[in-house]
Structure formats: C-alpha cells, structure tokens
Structure 1
Amino acid sequence: MNRTNDYAQPIGPELPEWTPRPRPGSVTLHGHYCRLQPLDAETHASDLYEAYATASDGRDWTYLFVGPFDDFEQYRAYVRSAAQSSDPLHYAVIDQASGKALGTLALMRIEPAHGVIEVGSVTFSPALKQSPLSTEAQYLLMAYAFDELGYRRYEWKCDDLNAPSRRAAQRLGFVYEGTFRQAVVYKGRSRDTAWYSIIDSQWPAVRAALQAWLAPDNFDAQGRQRKALSSFRAGCADS
C-alpha cells in the first residue's frame, strides 16, 4: 500500500536506516575460475591486446565507445588512461588457470548517495566469451556491489541495437526497463540506449542462480554446462 503525505499525495517507502554507500575501490575479487584485479597497463595491456587480437575482425568494438586500436602502443595508451579513472573504475578479468588477462569490465556512473551503480565497458576477448569465466566475472562484480558495498540498484545499459549485450543482460537476470531514444552520440552516430537493472530485493534469487550455475559440478570434463543458467533462475524464482 502506498504511503501518503500530509497533502494526501502518494510517496515512496521510507528508508530510515539509509546512509550513502561507500565508493568501490581498487580491490581484487577472487572466484573459482577467474579473479578481477584493478586494471594496470604495465601488468595487463600486453595480455589483453594479445587476447583481443585472436578475434577474426573488429566487430567486438562496434558498440563500445573506444577501439578498435591500430597497434599495441595505441591500445596501451588507452589502458594507461583508463587505469587512472575512478569512474569508470576498470577491472581486468584474469584466468585463474593461466594467469592471463582476457578482458575488462568496469563499475561506472557511481552514485553513493542513491545506492546506484552500473556495470559497463565490458570488453571480453574470444577466449572469455560464453565461458564460466565471463559469467563469474559478472557475478563477482555484482556481489561486490550488493553484498560488500550495499548498493540498492545495479544497472546495465547498452545500444538498443546490440543484440548480444541485451541477451547477456537478460541471461544474467537483469530486468529490461525501457529504451531511452537518442540518448547518446558516439563514434559519429546516434544511439538509443536500452536500460536494464537488478535491485536489491531481486539480488538474492539472482545470486543463488548464478552460484548454482557456477558450481564445478555443473560442468562436465570438457567444461560444458550440464544445466543452463535459465533453468537455475527458474528454480530460484519458484522457491
């Protein structure tokens, strides 16, 4: 039931215990398959450039604000600049098995007063895509935002035409909220931006599904999943 104020106007739920949340920091987050480390050009740029170079063409950069890069020096200069930023705050995704950096992602549009934070700048190499590592990287950052920092809302935004990004958001448990028309100009073109979110009341079910999917016994000897994440999400929703 909606509350009303002294003027009989409906108002939102009261948050008597709310305090601004801490800003995310340069922490290392450890998982079973990967770990996230603060992005560092001298440590990660070479591995990342090599990992991205295995792609057959430059299509992975189409919907990003940067890239593709002409050579390693150009890419390293970008990483040096990105590593100095506190918003977006970039992390490298490190394969636990090889110790190699295979991609990056960032926390951005950080609003501690409101408890709102966004994941973005997701740049995964072919070796990282559609692997337990890529899902775990997303999970580690979500858990950091919700469980450690106490944020209320975790956002995902992408070009409305970026079908792979939209599928990824929905697979991970984000809820589509609508499309902001002509919201951004980038790379000389207009972008309609699709908005997705997970809020704190939804996080326990999303977390349980991700943890169940990421469990080692959900993968066979060849690393193939036994059950899809969607089936775990359905089970958590029903419980």
Structure 2
Amino acid sequence: MNTPQPVTLSLNGIRLEPLGMQHEHGLREAAADGELWQLVFTSVPEPHETAAYIQTALHTPNRLAFAVIDEGSGKVIGSTSYHDIIPTAARLEIGYTWYAQSYWRSRVNTTCKYLLLSHAFDTLGAQTVGWRTDNLNTRSQQAIERLGAKKDGVIRGQQARRDGSVRDTVMYSVIRAEWPQIKEKLAARLGLAV
C-alpha cells in the first residue's frame, strides 16, 4: 500500500482538503453547531482548544487529517482523518470524524466515507480499512454498519474518555474483497454511476 499523502477529494458539493491552521475559525464554528465538545464520546475540540486540536492532528504520526468543506457555502463543517496507517499491512483506519450538528443525517457522512474508501482501496491499494468507536456511541456504530463494515469485536477498557471514564472500543473493518459490493451500494445511495 502506498502511504497516504496530502490530497484534496471532492464529490456532491463536499470537499475534503488537508487540515491546516487556516481551518481553525471554521472548525470552531462547526463544533459550536450543537456544542459537540459536550458529547463525552467524541474528539470534538472545545472552542479554546481548536488550534491545539489542529496541531495535534498535524503532528500525530501515521495520521492524515482533513477539513470537511461544504463547497456551496465554503464553510468548514467538520473534520475526518486517516489514522493508524500501517503501509506494511496495507491497513489504515478512518476516524476522528465529526460534523456540525446541522449536517447530521444528511449525505455528508456517506459522501465523505465514499471518498475516503475509494481513495484508500482504489488509489492507495489498501487491503483493510478500519474504524473504531466508543461502545456508548450507538449513532456512530449504526453509521459504520450502514456503510457495510463488519464488526470485528470489542476491546474492553481500551481508552480514557474526556470525562475520565474508560471506554470499551468497538472495532469494524472492510476488506478489499468486500469493497466492490460496498462501493456499488454507496454509489447507488449517492446517485452515482460506478
């Protein structure tokens, strides 16, 4: 698998571009849409922590972070990343994903995942794409399952939450052999020809 490099991906009026400090104000506004930092199981920064959030994303090894942009308005509406990139195993994960609350239950998540999965499998040559989420975050688990990912299992006591409690982490993945069927299903949902 090729190591992911900064790239801009776009489809259906949504653009993923490499995250940078120029996105700080927009990320702060997106997080304020629903006060998402108050959700105990998310990685959304509090307003005063947005710059540090971006710096952490940029300096975390084996992570490539994106700003999610609504091309119609030009607004930053969230963020997502490739992370835990392991080129020798042809594996990466998609995570650190969040969107302004007014974009929940829209085509944004499906569009972003279609872009990231297509790039991972069709361009980078990934064999496995994974996700992990908090066992309390049932909305995220349902969204991952709607993509067609398989539940790999639960890692108990895996990570501290922002409130100090310790979460169990639910792991999911899609493997290369499953991708053509999942791609077709996602494309149909988005009204695309494959």
- TM-score w.r.t. the length of structure 1 is 0.75
Q: Which residue of 2 aligns with 1:110?
A: 85
Q: Which has the higher contact order (CA 8 A, sep 6+)?
A: 2
Structure 1 residue 66: Cα displacement: 5.6
Task: Answer 1 or 2: which has greater helix percent.
Answer: 2
Paired residues, number: 192
How far apart, CA to CA, are the structure 2 residues paired with 1:176 and 1:57?
Answer: 26
Structure 1 residue 172: Cα displacement: 1.0
How far apart, CA to CA, are the structure 1 residues paired with 2:37 and 2:157?
Answer: 24
Give the SS at the match of 1:64: coil
Indicate which of 212, 215, 227 corresponds to 2:188: 212
Indicate which of 24, 40, 52 corresponds to 2:31: 52
Structure 1 runs (4+) deviating above 4 angstroms are none
Equivalent runs, 1:156-167 vs 2, <5 Å: 156-167=131-142
Partners of 1:23 and 1:112 within 8 A in 2: yes
Q: Which residue of 2 aligns with 1:190?
A: 166
Give the SS at the match of 1:97: coil
Give the SS at the match of 1:83: helix
How far apart, CA to CA, are the structure 2 residues paired with 1:66 and 1:131?
Answer: 19
Structure 1 residue 90: Cα displacement: 0.6
- CA RMSD between the two structures: 1.9
Partners of 1:31 and 1:140 within 8 A in 2: yes
Partners of 2:9 and 2:15 within 8 A in 1: yes
Q: 1:110 to 1:56 in 2, by over 3 A?
A: closer
Larger radius of gyration: 1
Q: Which amino acid aligns with 2:31?
A: Y
How far apart, CA to CA, are the structure 1 residues paired with 2:174 and 2:31?
Answer: 29
- 1:142-161 per-position Cα deviation (integer Å, ceiling 9, x unaligned): 11100000101110111112
1:39 corresponds to 2:15: no
Partners of 2:127 and 2:175 within 8 A in 1: yes
- 1:40-78 per-position Cα deviation (integer Å, ceiling 9, x unaligned): 112x1111211221215644x4213463x1x44x31232
Structure 1 residue 79: Cα displacement: 1.6
Mark the runs of 5 or more structure 2 residues left unpaired by the alignment.
none
Identity of aligned residues (%): 33
